[in-house]
Structure 1
Amino acid sequence: MLKKSLDDLDRNIVSALADDARISNRKIAGDLGITEGTVRSRIKRMEQEGQLHLTAVTNIDRLRSPTLAYIWIEVERSAQCDALAEQLAQVPEIGFVGKMLGRFDLLAITLVQDNAELASFLRREVTGLPGVRRTECSLGVDFVKHDYRMGRIVKVDDGDN
């Protein structure tokens, strides 16, 4: 199936859903001046093509004492990076895994309640994996802004528009 790129209307629908995933198709249609059927079919297409996935997200501001832990990982050999990233992505407590450029090869992000939980988690789920040379953690201690919709894409004007 050929995937269609998102046009302005798709992005406006996604933006409305990002603000409130429970918003009705009728409300989105009214706000955008289109039919409810258009909204429904566009959402269905974007879901089928993997461009949109609607889900519930925990609001970390409501957790007892959340600590956002950034786990920086250096791999032994660069050839192990992909496999290690895939293994980390399978760990349910890890919410983000990315291959990085710079001092570390991978970044994994999780939420923990305290340092003891983080240390136990690292020993149990990360440091023993084949290919992990070393880890370093950074802890988020004060949330100035946390936008769970981090998927917004910054559009760069390349001069062709």
Structure 2
Amino acid sequence: MSRRRLDEVDRAIVERLSRDARVSNRQIAAELGVTEGTVRSRVKRMEEEKLIRITAVTNIDRFRDASLAYIWIEVERSHQVSEVASQLAEIPELGFVGEMLGRSDLLAITMVRNNEHLAEFVHGHISCIPGVRRTESTLGVNFVKHDYRMARIVR
């Protein structure tokens, strides 16, 4: 299946929804100068093609008793990266798992209460996965910018 390129109207719809996903199709249509049916059909198509997903996002700045933990993972052999990533993706506490280029093979992101909680999580859920060579963890302490909206699509 080839990837569809988003046109300017699609991008404008995504940009508007990224600011407030509860905005009506009618309001988006009025702002963009298109019909409500155009907005509705384009949103439906982008959802069906899994180009967008409309969901609620937590505001991590409001979590006073939790920190964002970045867990950098090296695997033993390069052919194990995908399998380890798949196993990590099955862990419900991980909100992000990605294959990386650079010093580490994988990055996993989760929320933890403190250093001890992070250590327990890494030892109990990640280090025990076959193929994991080593992990390195960092905690986010001050977020200057945190924006999960991915409406700014690179062209």
TM-score normalised over the length of structure 1 = 0.91
- Counterpart in 2 of 1:70? 70
User: Residue 91 of structure 1 aligns to which amino acid in structure 2?
Assistant: I
Say whether the 8 Å CA contact 2:112–2:118 is kept in structure 1: yes
- Counterpart in 1 of 2:137? 137
Higher RCO (Cα < 8 Å, 6 or more apart): 2
Say whether the 8 Å CA contact 2:127–2:134 is kept in structure 1: yes
Secondary structure of the equivalent of 2:34?
coil
TM-score normalised over the length of structure 2 = 0.94
User: Residue 60 of structure 1 aligns to which amino acid in structure 2?
Assistant: I
Alpha carbon RMSD of aligned pairs, Å? 1.4
Secondary structure of the equivalent of 1:9?
helix
* Per-residue deviation, residues 67-93 of structure 1 (Å, max 9, x unmatched): 111101010111110011111111111
In the TM superposition, what is the alpha-carbon distance from 1:3 to its structure 2 partner? 5.2
Question: Is the aligned partner of 1:115 residue 2:115?
Answer: yes
Q: What is the alpha-carbon distance in structure 2 between the residues aligned to residue 67 and residue 49 of structure 1? A: 34
- Counterpart in 2 of 1:159? none
Q: What is the alpha-carbon distance in structure 2 between the residues aligned to residue 98 and residue 56 of structure 1? A: 21
> Using a 3 Å threshold, how does the CA distance of structure 1 residues 89 and 61 change in structure 2: closer, same or farther?
same
Q: What is the alpha-carbon distance in structure 2 between the residues aligned to residue 152 and residue 29 of structure 1? A: 20
Query: Unaligned stretches of 5+ in structure 1?
Result: 156-161
Say whether the 8 Å CA contact 2:15–2:151 is kept in structure 1: no
Q: What is the alpha-carbon distance in structure 1 between the residues aligned to residue 90 and residue 42 of structure 2? A: 30
* Per-residue deviation, residues 71-124 of structure 1 (Å, max 9, x unmatched): 010101111100111111111111111111111111111111211111111112
What is the aligned-residue identity percentage?
63
Segment drifting more, 56-65 vs 37-46: 56-65
Aligned residue pairs total 155
Q: What is the alpha-carbon distance in structure 2 between the residues aligned to residue 61 and residue 86 of structure 1? A: 29
Q: What is the alpha-carbon distance in structure 2 between the residues aligned to residue 54 and residue 127 of structure 1? A: 33
Secondary structure of the equivalent of 2:146?
coil
Q: What is the alpha-carbon distance in structure 2 between the residues aligned to residue 27 and residue 133 of structure 1? A: 52
Q: What is the alpha-carbon distance in structure 1 between the residues aligned to residue 57 and residue 45 of structure 2? A: 22
- Counterpart in 1 of 2:154? 154
Query: Unaligned stretches of 5+ in structure 2?
Result: none
User: Residue 67 of structure 2 aligns to which amino acid in structure 1?
Assistant: T
